[in-house]
Amino acid sequence: MPIQGVYTDNYMPVGDILTMAVCYVIIIVMFFSFIKRTRSFRVFLIILLFLILASITNVAYYTVLKHTGLQGAPIAGALRLIMHASLFIIFFLFTRYIAIVTDLTHKVSLWSSFIGGIITCFVIIWDLIDTLDTRRGFRITEAGIQTGTDVFMIGYIAYVILLGFLLIYVRNRIYKRVLYGYYYTVILAVALNLIQHFAGQSSLTVGSFLLPVVAMFYIMHSNPYDVRLGSINISAMDDMIRFYREKKIPFGYMSLFMHTFSESHTSVPASMQETIRRFSSSYFRDARLFHVSSGHFLLIFSQKRNPDYQERISSILKAFTTEHARFRQDYKIVIGSCTDQLSNHNEYISFIRNIHRNMEENSIHFVTEKDSADYDRAAYILRELTDIYRVRRLDDPRVLVYCQPVYNIRLGRYDTAEALMRLNLKETGIVYPDQFIHLAEENGYIHVLTQIILHKTCEAVRTLIAEGYSFTRISVNVSALELKDQYFCRDITGIIEESEIPGNRVAIELTESQDESDFLIMQQRINELKDLGIKFYLDDFGTGYSSLERIMQLPFDIIKFDRSLVIASASNSRSAQIVSNMARLFAEMDFSVLYEGVEDTGDEQRCIGMSASYLQGYKYSRPVPIDEMRHFFSLSA
Ligand code: C2E
Ligand code: CA
Ligand code: CA
C-alpha cells in the first residue's frame, strides 16, 4: 500500500528537476563555447555530474516513498544515502575548487582538503550505518520516517564554517568583485536552505547547491564569444593547439593586424566585422577565428581537413585585396604553420609580433626558418633580461655602456657624450638596442636597466673627473614609461648621490609623449630632478607629432634634432628652410640645438648653418666603450 501524506507532503520534485535541467544546459553550453579545459574546469565538471546524480536520487527517493510505502524502505534508504553522499562529495569538491582557483599554498590546501575529507567521510559512514541499522536508524514506520541523529545538518553546518573560513582566507588572492560574487551566492544558498528547513520543506535541498555552481560557471568559466565576428577569446586557442597536437593534426594560421584599431582601442566597425566573419568561415573547412586583441585576429585551420590550403590561402588573399580597396585600413598579414617551437597562444602571439616589427605596413609575410631563428634569439635575450631584472645588480657585467662623443661648436672640442646601452650575452655576444629595448619596455624591465646604465655611467664619470679629464656631462637615455613610476626620482637621485658626483655631470634624454597625463607627470619629474642640477634633453625631435607649444612648456636644456631632419634638410630647399627656422626658433628661446646623425662634412656644414650648438654622429665617432672617452675628452691644464 503506497504511503500518502506525512512522508512526502513537504516535497515537490520541481526543484530537483530544474536543477538537473540547468546542469544539462550548463554542460551543453560548456561543450559549445570553447571553454578552457583547466584543472578547475575538470573539478567543476565533476561537481555538475554529482549534482545531477543528487537530483536524480532525490526525485527517486521521494517517488519510492510515495509509491511503495513500508516495504520500499531499503531502496529509499539506499537512494537517500547516495543523495547525501553526492552532496557531501560536492561540498568536498568546492573546497578543492577554491584551493585550485586561488592557487592556495600546498599546506593550506592540504589542510582544507583534509578537514573536508573527514567531514564527508564521517557523514557518509554515519549515514551508511544509519541506513543499515534497521532498528534504530533510517526506517519507515506507521508513524512516519524515523532516523538516528541528523548528521546531515551537522555536516552541513561544519562545511558552511569550513567554506566560509576558506573564502575569507583567500580574500586577498582573488579579484574582489569575483569574491563578492561568491559571498553573495553562498549566503543566498545557505539562507535558502535554512528558510526551507524552518518552513518544514525539503524541495530545495539539492537546488540550493546549484546557486554557487551557476556563479562559478559564469564568473570563472564563461568565455566571451563574439557573435557578430564569430570569434573566440584567444585563451581558448590553447585547447585547440593541445587537441591538434594529441591527434597529430598539422594546422596553419593567418594573422591579420591593423594598427589603427590597436592603437586607438576602438573596435572594428560593423561592416568590417561582417567581412572578417565571412572570410573566416567561407574559405577553410573547420577554421576558427580568435580575437587576439584590439585590431588583431588569428584564423586557425586544420591542414588535414584542407589539403589544398595553399590554394585557399591564395584565394582568400585575392579577395582580401578587393576588400582592402573598400576599407583602406593599414594591415600586416602573417601566414604560417604550426611548429613544435611554440606551445601556447602566448608564444604564437609573441612570435607573430616579433615578425610584425620588421614588416612594412600593407604587406603579407609567409613565415620562414629565419623567423624561427630570430624568435629563438629574442626569447633567449628575454630570458637574460628577466634574469638581469631579477638579480638587480647595478654592476651586472652583461650590461655595457657604450658612449658617443658630442662636439661642442662654441668650444671647438668634445665636452659631452651620450651613453648608449649594449648587452653582452654568452650565446649571442654584443646585442644592440633595437633587439632588446622594446623587450625590456614591454616586460617592465627597462627601469632596472636604466638604473644599471646610470650607475655605470656615474662610476665612469667619477673616474674621468679623478683622472683630470675636462668635460661637462654625459647623458643617459630614459624611457618615457619609467616616469610613471612613483619612485623614479628617488631611484635616480639615490644612484647619483651614491657615486658622489655632482648632479650636473649627468643628463637625461627623454622622448616626447602624446598623452596629456604623461605630459603633466613629465613636467613634474623634470622639475624635481632639475633642482639637483640634472640637465634634460628632448630626444628624437622631428620623429613624432611634435607640438612646439608643449615642448616649450617643458624645461628642456637641449633639443636633439633627429637624423631624419638632417637628411631632410639636404633633400630640398623648402625642407631645409623649415628645419632651419625651427632650429632658430628654439635657439632664440634659449634652448640649445643638437643635431644627431651627422655623418659627413656636408651634414656638418649644413647643421652649423642651422643654429647648431652641438653635433653628434658617425662623422666624429661611432659609439665606443665608455672607457675610450679618454681619447675624446682633453686633460685639463
Ligand atoms: P637614440 O637615443 O636616438 O641614439 C642614437 C642612435 O643613433 C644610436 O643607436 C647611435 O649609434 C645612432 N647613431 C649615432 N650617430 C649616427 C649617425 O651618424 N648615423 C646614424 N644612422 N646613426 C647614428 P643605438 O646605440 O643603436 O641606439 C638606438 C636607440 O636605442 C637609441 O636611440 C635609444 O632610443 C635606445 N637606447 C640606447 N641606449 C639606451 C638606454 O640606455 N636606455 C634606453 N631607454 N634606450 C636606449
Ligand atoms: Ca638618445
Ligand atoms: Ca635620438
Distance 209 CA to ligand 2 centre (A): 62
Task: Using pLDDT thresholds of 50, 70 and 90, give the confidence band for residue 223.
Answer: low
Residue 104 has pLDDT above 60, yes or no: yes
Please check whether residue 374 lies inside any domain of the structure: no
**pLDDT for the residue numbered 263:** 82
Q: CATH number of the domain at 25, please.
A: 1.20.1070
Shared domain for 125 and 53, answered yes or no, is yes
CA 509 to ligand 2 centroid distance, Å: 6
pLDDT band of 228, cuts 50, 70, 90: low
> SS3 helix, strand, coil % of the chain, rounded to 5?
55, 15, 25
- Cα 512 to ligand 1 centre (Å): 16
Q: Which of 181, 204, 220 is the last residue of a domain?
A: 220
Q: Are residues 285 and 230 in the same domain?
A: yes
Contacts of 574 (CB under 8 A, 6+ apart): none
Question: How much is the mean pLDDT over the chain?
Answer: 90
Of how many residues is the chain composed?
637
Determine if ligand 1 sits within 6 Å of the CB of residue 540. yes
Of the bound ligands, which one is closest to the alpha carbon of residue 477? 1
Which of 477, 488, 566, 622 for a ligand 1 pocket mutation test, highest count of atoms within 8 Å of Cβ?
Answer: 477
Residues 63-87: pLDDT tens digits?
A: 988 888 778 888 999 999 999 999 9
Domain membership of residue 175 (yes or no) is yes
The model's pTM: 0.70
Within a domain: residue 33?
yes
Ligand 1 neighbour 433 (Cβ under 6 A): yes
In a domain, 103, yes or no: yes
Nearest-atom number in ligand 1 for the CA of 432 is 26
Calculate how far, in angstroms, residue 10's C-alpha sits from the geometric centre of ligand 3: 81
Domain match, 288 and 209 both: no
Determine, yes or no, domain membership for 380.
no
In short, whether 563's Cβ falls inside 6 Å of ligand 1 is yes
Residue 429: CB atoms within 10 A of its CB come to: 9
pLDDT band at 200 (very low <50, low <70, confident <90, very high): confident
Distance CA 398, CA 380 (A): 13
User: In the structure grid, which three cell numbers stand for residue 527, read together?
Assistant: 622639475
Are residues 429 and 342 part of one domain? Answer: no
Range of the domain at 158: 6-220
| CB 94, CB 162: distance < 8 Å | no
Q: Rounded to an integer, what distance in angstroms lies between the CA atom of residue 74 and that of residue 94?
A: 30
Residue 146 pLDDT = 77
At 293 the three-state DSSP class reads: strand
Ligand 1 centroid to Cα of residue 605, in Å, is 22
User: Across residues 598-607, what is the average pLDDT?
Assistant: 96
**Could you tell me if the CB of 539 is within 6 A of ligand 1?**
yes
- CA–CA gap between residue 537 and residue 560 (Å, rounded): 7
Report the distance separating Cα 582 and Cα 607, nearest Å: 12
Alpha helices by DSSP H, listed for 307-344, are 309-327
Q: What residues pack around ion ligand 2 (CB closer than 5 A)?
A: 477, 509, 539
Determine the pLDDT at residue 8: 67
pLDDT attached to residue 174: 74
C-alpha 617 to ligand 1 mean position (Å): 10
d(CA 281, CA 293): 20
How far, in Å, from the CA of 111 to the mean position of ligand 1?
A: 56
Q: At what angle do helices 73-101 and 207-221 cross, to 10 degrees?
A: 30
Same structural domain, 206 and 229: no
Grid coordinates in use for 625?
A: 666603450
How many independent structural domains does the chain possess?
3
Degrees to nearest 5, angle at CA 353 with 237 and 300? 30
Same domain, 248 and 174: no
Check whether residue 424 and residue 501 sit in a common domain. yes
- Is the C-beta atom of 233 inside 6 A of ligand 1? no
Span 119-171, pLDDT tens digits? 999 999 999 998 888 778 888 877 777 777 778 889 999 999 999 999 888 88
pLDDT of amino acid 487: 93
Indicate if ligand 1 lies below 6 Å from the C-beta of 404: yes
Ligand 1 close to Cβ of residue 618 (< 6 A): yes
Q: Are residues 606 and 474 in the same domain?
A: yes
Which pLDDT does position 268 carry in this prediction? 84
Please check the confidence at residue 469 and state whether its pLDDT lies above 80: yes
Residue 5: per-residue pLDDT:
43
* Contact call for residues 403 and 623 (beta carbons, < 8 A): yes
In the beta sheet, which residues pair with residue 231?
A: 226, 289
Q: Answer whether 152's CB lies under 8 Å from 127's CB.
A: yes
Confidence of residue 2 (pLDDT cuts 50, 70, 90): very low
Indicate which CATH number applies to the domain containing 273: 3.30.70.270
Substitution site in 559, 594, 596 for ligand 1 pocket (most atoms within 8 Å of beta carbon): 596
Tell how far the Cα of 403 is from the centroid of ligand 1, in angstroms.
10
Q: Whose CA is nearest to atom 28 of ligand 1?
A: 433
Ligand 1 within 6 A of CB of 617: yes
Q: Where a domain ends, among 192, 220, 248? A: 220
Same domain, 359 and 454: no
Domain-terminating residue out of 180, 205, 220: 220
417 and 506 co-located in one domain: yes
Q: Whose CA is nearest to atom 35 of ligand 1?
A: 433
Percent of the chain surpassing pLDDT 70: 97
User: Which ligand lies nearest to the CA atom of residue 560 in the structure?
Assistant: 3
Q: C-alpha cell of 32? A: 559549445
Statement to judge: residues 403 and 353 lie in one domain: no
